[in-house]
Each structure stands twice: as structure tokens, then as C-alpha cells.
Amino acid sequence: MTAFKTSLVWLAAISLLIQVAVAALPFSWFENEGEMPSLAPMIERSQPAVVNIATRSQVRVQDNPLLNDPFFRRFFDLRQQQPRQRSKQSLGSGVIVDAKTGLVLTNNHVIHRADEITVSLTDGRTFQAELVGTDPATDVALIKIPAEQLTALPLADSSQLRVGDFVVAIGNPFGLGQTVTSGIVSALGRSGLGIEGYENFIQTDASINPGNSGGALVNLRGELVGINTAIFSPGQKAGNIGIGFAIPSNMVKQIADQLLEFGEVHRAHLGVQMQDITPELAQAFDIEFGQGAVVTRIIPGSAAEESGLAVGDIVTAIDGDKLSNADSLRNRIGLLMVGQTITLDIVRDGEKKILKATVKVTPKQAVQGEVHPKLSGATFGDIEPSSPYYGKIKGIMVYSVKRGSPAAFAGLRKGDIITSANKQPVDSLEAFRPYAYTDGKQLLLNITRNQRALFLVLR
């Protein structure tokens, strides 16, 4: 065969390959035959459903603690002054998911403690939003705008996502205005990152930067597959390095449905404390290393107790899905609907068993009555499953701290874990009560906050 004929054969083969590749491209890449492949048609349909969110809030300026000391003020003849405040602004993104009612999904951290939420549409209209509800444990928030002629994004089934699928991130990075970036799904089911209380992230290399939070991660059909939430940024680097995380659409829908109905999430509760399987424990229990989590405590009256689960059981799967560690079990339970019945695959004394449990609402208790004056305005209870410290340390959790209350001025924060009082371990509300009712005597608290330990003196 001559060189000329050989060249013709290769050209024909290459032409055939190009035709096959073009035919396999997603339908949304083309508007009309003959056009260059482009995401523009899909993006043009999707962009009106993604909004920019601006918030404004008043933040109290922290004074020197000495100014709160009556003796110090009297000695220097200082009058009690009103707390100083400053205005704080932030930017983020959101996704319209119901055009008729004006429902917008975003991240909780985008609108957290906002006194004013302004939503801007791509057509230039702006609206003041109403807060429907938030779930800090998953960083999901639902707001509502009084607008007509809106465009909503349809929700995809995120369980059908595969690593390697093309995705597009739409949002408002650095307040520049609506921006589109593309990439692929890099990983699925990311957890244990310590970003949120419950984690089941989609990882993507589509550029996500500050301001993208709450924006849309869409597939090539223009369907919402996730809400962009966070980036991995070692060394306090401000921008994207190709590792971004989004909350899957199935998880978002489940949370949004509860926020719409109740204004909050009624989180499921199994009633166990778990521990990761170590090589030593795996050998002691005669199981494969990394298989499930071991039960270390059963809460009386809980779903776990009613199911027959016992201390020492190894939980290996929920509804047939294998568990890798204690965090994976906590995530699975926390994302269930209250009243849902699940099957637990366990190993007990070397034998495999299957138990059924109907999960209940997470119990909340609060210290009531006349407590230490500096604890006024705060509520306490057992560590919630939504806390990253659940099952890892012993203590009680600060459920809430009322703004401007003595507890707030004393330095307590929502989510704090109190591990000791007056140098004595505190592992339950019952253990904390004697210290809470001290008639104003000095109280020394050891607190864990943001993975750091600190002491707080209440006088």
C-alpha cells in the first residue's frame, strides 16, 4: 500500500472516531447542528435559578473584661456604657428550588445570625428574604423571597452520581457576580473532615471559592446535584486548589422538607455511643480490621435498647450498606427520618445477627431552675449526635446561648462542650447539676471548643 493510500485510511479512521465522539456528547452541548460544542445552552437555562445573597448583621464589639468589673469601674469612676456594636456584611449564593413559592436553598453559614438578607436575581431584581429554617449540623438553610416569574432548578438523584461525571459550579465568588466553573466529580461520600456535624460530601475539582457557598453544582442536564459548601485550603490559603465539597441534592431535599414543615430538623436518634475498630479491638473481637464500629454505651429507653443492641456488639452495616467507622454510623443515623425502621447487621460473640430498630427523635434536656447567675441564658444537655465530639469525649453540650445574656458575656458559646467543673469530670447533666446550682460561687469550667481546650472562670 502506498504512503498516499495509507494516509487516506488514517484520515478516514480519525474522521470516524470524531463522528462517534461527537455523537456521544451530551445533548445540551449543542443548540443547532454545526455549532461548536458548548455548555452555554445549559448554563443559560440554569443561571437564572442561582441567586446572589448579601447579609447584614449587628455584632457586639468585645470590650476589655476589666470594664465589666464593678470595682474597676468604681475605682476609675467609669460609668456603665451601652455595648458597642458594628455592622457586619457577608456575601454568598443560593439556589431557587421552588419558583411558585420563592423557596431558595443556601448554606446556614451564609445567613447565620443575619438581621437582613438581600437576594439579587440575574435579571437585576432584589428582594428581602424571610428565613424559613436552618440546620447548622448539615449547613443547610431555607429562605423565601416574595417574587414572581422565577426560574427553579430541578433536583437530580445524587445517588446516581459517579466519579468522573462532569459538573458545573455556579455562584458568586469573592462578590464578583455570577460566575461559572466546570470540572468533574472527584469523589463521593466524603466524611470525617470536621467541616460539619453530618458529612456526606460530593468532592469536585470545579473551582469553588469564598462567595460560592450556597451556590449550585449542576450536571450537564442542568439539574441540581449539590449545594456548594466548602473548600479544602491547607495553610490558610484563601482560594481554590481543586478540592471543593458540595452537599448532595438528596440530602439537601431531605433537610429542606423538614425545614419547610417544622422550621428545624427533627433528627433521628438511635441511642448508642460508638468507638472505631482498632487493630487490637479487631483481634480481640475476632473480626476483620476496619469493619464497622463497636457499641460502648446504650442509652436507657432508646431505640438501641428496644432493638436488643448491647454493649460490645459490632455494627457492620445499616440497611445493607457497610459501615467503615463510628462516624459513618453517626452520619447515617442522623440523616434518617424520625420513626424510620432500619436493619442493623451486627457481630456478637463471633456470630452474625440482624436487628431491627425504629429511630426516635433526639432527646434534649435542659438545666432548669435557678442556676449560677453567669449561666443564665444558656441551655445544656447531653452531647448531640450532630456535634463532632459525639462519642469521642465525655461532657455536656451548650445547646444555646441567648444573645446579650450573662452566659454570653461570660464567654459561653453554642456548641461548647463542658468536660469538667471545678476540676471535677462532668459526663452528664446529673453530674453538672451540683455545680450549676452554686448560688453565685466561683465556677471553673473546662471547655472544648473548635478542637481546642480552655478554662472559663465564672464569678
The answer to whether 314 touches 322, Cβ cutoff 8 Å, is no
Q: Quick check: pTM over 0.75?
A: no
The correct CATH number of 268-361 out of 3.40.50.720, 2.30.42.10, 3.90.470.20, 1.10.10.10 is 2.30.42.10
Res. 387 pLDDT band, cuts 50 70 90 = confident
Marked catalytic residue, from 46, 158, 213, 302: 213
Res. 164 pLDDT band, cuts 50 70 90 = very high
Marked catalytic residue, from 28, 46, 93, 139: 139
According to the CATH classification, is domain 373-458 in 2.30.42.10?
Answer: yes
Residues of the chain with CATH 2.40.10.10: 46-144, 158-262
pLDDT tens, 256-276?
A: 998 998 888 887 788 887 777
What is the average pLDDT across 156-178?
89
The answer to whether residue 97 scores a pLDDT higher than 90 is yes
The proportion of the chain whose per-residue pLDDT surpasses 70, expressed as a percent, equals 78
Does residue 38 have an active-site annotation?
Answer: no
Res. 87 pLDDT band, cuts 50 70 90 = low
The answer to whether residue 349 scores a pLDDT higher than 60 is yes
What is the average pLDDT across 374-399?
80
What is the average pLDDT across 229-243?
70
Does residue 439 have an active-site annotation?
Answer: no
CA distance 186 to 198: 20
Does residue 109 have an active-site annotation?
Answer: yes
- CA dihedral sign, ordered 125, 252, 167, 207: positive
What is the average pLDDT across 96-100?
92
Task: List the one residue out of 369, 359, 361, 365 whose CA is nearest residue 382.
Answer: 365
430: left (phi over 0), alpha (psi -120 to 50) or beta: alpha
The reported pLDDT for the residue numbered 366 is 45
Phi, psi of 301 (to 5 degrees): 80, 5
Q: What is the CA radius of gyration of the chain?
A: 27
The answer to whether residue 166 scores a pLDDT higher than 90 is yes
Marked catalytic residue, from 28, 109, 135, 205: 109
Highest CATH level, class, for 158-262: mainly beta
Residues of the chain with CATH 2.30.42.10: 268-361, 373-458
What is the average pLDDT across 226-254?
80
The reported pLDDT for the residue numbered 183 is 92
The reported pLDDT for the residue numbered 430 is 73
pLDDT tens, 123-160?
A: 889 999 999 999 888 889 999 999 889 999 999 999 89
Task: List the one residue out of 239, 185, 183 whose CA is nearest residue 211.
Answer: 239
The reported pLDDT for the residue numbered 104 is 94
CATH numeric code, 46-144:
2.40.10.10
Res. 51 pLDDT band, cuts 50 70 90 = very high
What is the average pLDDT across 342-354?
87
